[in-house]
Structure 1
Amino acid sequence: MEETGIGAWGVPLAILAGAIRVSTPFIFVSLGETVTERSGRINLGLEGTLVFGAMTAYAVAVMTNSPWLGVIAAMATGAVFGLAHGWICKWPRVNDIAIGIAMMQFGLGLAFFLGKPFIQPAAPHLPAIPLGFWSSLPQIQAALNINVLFLLGAALAFVLRWALGNTRLGLVLRVVGDSTDAARAMGISPDRVRLLATAAGGSLAAIGGAYLSLYYPGSWNEGISSGQGLMAVALVIFARWNPIGCFLAALLFGGAGALGPALQSAGVSEGYYLFYAAPYVLTLVIMIATSSPTRSLSGAPGALSLTK
């Protein structure tokens, strides 16, 4: 522990720092999927959207030397993916799950093909706020060097939670998600609402991809995601479709993902690599714990069906 310079606080501090870094993509993807599923549609294609957003953000940042233009470009491509998914899924007898898997593979393949010229060039990184300026310890300074997107994601979680319960848009989204027939009786077009909700969800997921390529790990390569887009679907179920719950669950997933590196940095040289599988094990445990043939999930939108 002495190698960390702060004694027993080394591992918890490293986990905290890692949780903040690792959780940010989960926050945006899970919030995007929450918006989509609240409308009564599931989108398993967000893994492809996440990776394509990462590639787009990196490529635009390289060409313009502006990471924020990269984020905006990623959001635009994410919205296009969402619109395509939503448009296809509005047709009768089209399965959301099958289309999501197809869109995921399409996004991954297109990102790998178009992103090959950008593997070597270096792009500017997104800025971070040094909240640890008050400390002279480099470990604390590094742990509290918070990326702007993390703070935006945290704020967005609370804004979405408020909007779902207190605005007309939130009411419309919840009505469509709970009952297609009730929405039509109120003069609301479920297809249009779900189309826009899927586009918004894709746009948010792409921000998570931009974070991956422009901040942490801060490069573009074909293995950049490690399945975070798919794990975010389990995270949404775990959070019971609550945006604030998604934020907290993302921190939990991020902490699980940071456990292996934290142990390594503390001097643990044997077995630490097993903890790199912690996020995947946690995903599996959540899916098993929330599955039941006899009861429905609390908080689940009534129109959301995996067998549609």
Structure 2
Amino acid sequence: MKNFIIGSIITMIILIVLVGYRQNFFSTKTYPYDDEQVGLENQVIIKFSHVVAENTPKGMAAEKFADLVNEKSNGRIIVQVYPNGMLYSDDKELQALKEGEIQMIAPSFSKMTDYLPNWQVLDLPFLVEDEEQLEKVLTGNLSKQLLSELDSLNIKGLTFWSNGFKQIATSGTPIIELQDFWHKKVRMMSSDILKEQYLLLRAKPVDTTFDTLYNDLENHLIEAQENTISNLYSKKFYQIENQITLSNHGILCYAVMFNEEFWNNLNSETQSIIIESLNEMQEWQFNQAKLINEKNLVSLSNEENVQIYELDEINKTKWKKKLSPIYDYYRKNVNAQYLDELLEEINN
């Protein structure tokens, strides 16, 4: 009998606890935040996916941007940076952005040319000769027109970042004279202009993604590539392609963009902080890209197995002459007005 009474008491206690817990669990009462919780309901999380290393111009710009917006918003805006294709490869990140899986990307402008053919104007070879002209291209009126074209894709374009000039890397015999291109399988990004460029050089253009490029080189699917010094160094492509020609024949830059629906849902204060941060870091980003490429070039020069050649003026003139029909191709097939505007910006 005693055990029965004790058991009944324990059962009643358990029932009381469970009823109380259930009432609290389903309660709609709002409790005040403590100090650490204040403002969390207004916190903005931006997932920023990219495919290059952290120590590259884009990688460092992404971190700089994240720090600036965090500082200017007192921690309310958090940019989560995912480098090295951790979330999406370069052929998947645009779709992920459009679907809202991520909020921010900065792909190469060449990646956008399948959707926005006018953007191919930036892929024209030997269009830009130095850093001063490059800055004009990325900040001029035409750059704003190009960014506005992203509206048609439900994307908000904000600015361009630089990764500097493209060089030619291969193994075995360096590519210096025109015949060195013949029948070479050269990796390029998806762009009709780039494809036309290598066809004119009698090479075999191959469109592959950045994240598979190293394996493609190892498996001899690719024999050469065009890329910036920073990418050649940070991704260790030089371990396979150790013959590097400094040609400066093209530019590699990035378009910074947001999912449009996400952007439109941000309040004006948040939008202003983002734009202000991008504007504030613009000059820093251009200078940083230049410095990183210069530093990485020194590092490559110190690698025992790497040979670096500078394209001489005689061969550069031959390259330019061979590639000159591309300008007519763009005028006739894409947008003559854009080309004229860009040339005017560069030369003024």
TM-score between both structures, scaled by the size of structure 1: 0.29
Q: Which of the two has greater strand per residue?
A: 2
TM-score between both structures, scaled by the size of structure 2: 0.26
Larger Cα-atom Rg: 2
Q: Which of the two has greater helix per residue?
A: 1
